[in-house]
Amino acid sequence: MKKIIEHYDALIDENNDPVHDPIPLKEYMDKWDGQKFIDCLCLLPYHDVLEIGVGTGRLAIKICESCNTFLGIDVSAKTIERAIENLNTFENCTLVCADFLEYQFNNYFDVIYSSLTFIHIADKKSAIAKTAGLLKPSGRFILSSSKSQDKFLEMNGRELELFPTSLEEIKLLFAEAGLDFEDSFETEFAFIVSGIKGNK
């Protein structure tokens, strides 16, 4: 976890903020999620939403205006500081610097989503089970996970261990967590899976 925090803190120091990327870079990032991913959230004005791995707010800035409350969590303090700046016009937005698996939430959500974050989580079974436990009945979880099976990320002289997965594994973990499979599709760089919390 320390290396992950140091890496994302360093990205802020290097002025890496996808919210303010030029259009070609934004289009590149959309290859992991994009508008089809956002459409899968099926957002309604009364929804309470959680983003796991909010980053600087690249997706949140498109989400906050369409929901009731928004909570974003991220492990990097510098990233959260930048997200606070980027999302300061949204009164319904709360941002927390914490490890998702360790943080004690005190509310439940209609929609939870995550993109480009679960590649850093080794214990995906626990993460997906915790996510399912935070959903309201019939709540929706949408996960974008990289198709790459690379075990390491090398960037700007830093190396991070990654924990790739497969679509089949994610579907299995969804089922084990009590999430009914809804849909899946692929983008150029990722597969996206959505599930609904069952009533069992």
Q: Give the pLDDT confidence score for residue 17 in this predicted structure.
A: 87
CB 75 within 8 Å of CB 4: yes
Q: Give the pLDDT confidence score for residue 159 in this predicted structure.
A: 84
Q: What backbone torsions phi and psi does residue 174 show, to the nearest 5 degrees? A: -60, -50
CATH, residue 116 = 3.40.50.150
3-state secondary structure of 64: helix
Kindly report, residue by residue over 46-85, the tens digit of the pLDDT. Answer: 999 999 999 999 999 999 999 999 999 999 999 999 999 9
> For residue 136, what are the CA distances in angstroms to 65, 132, 140, 159, 181?
21, 9, 8, 38, 16
The tally of domains found in the chain comes to: 1
Kindly report, residue by residue over 100-156, the tens digit of the pLDDT. Answer: 999 999 999 999 999 989 999 999 999 999 999 999 999 999 999 999 888 998 877
Range of the domain at 37: 2-197
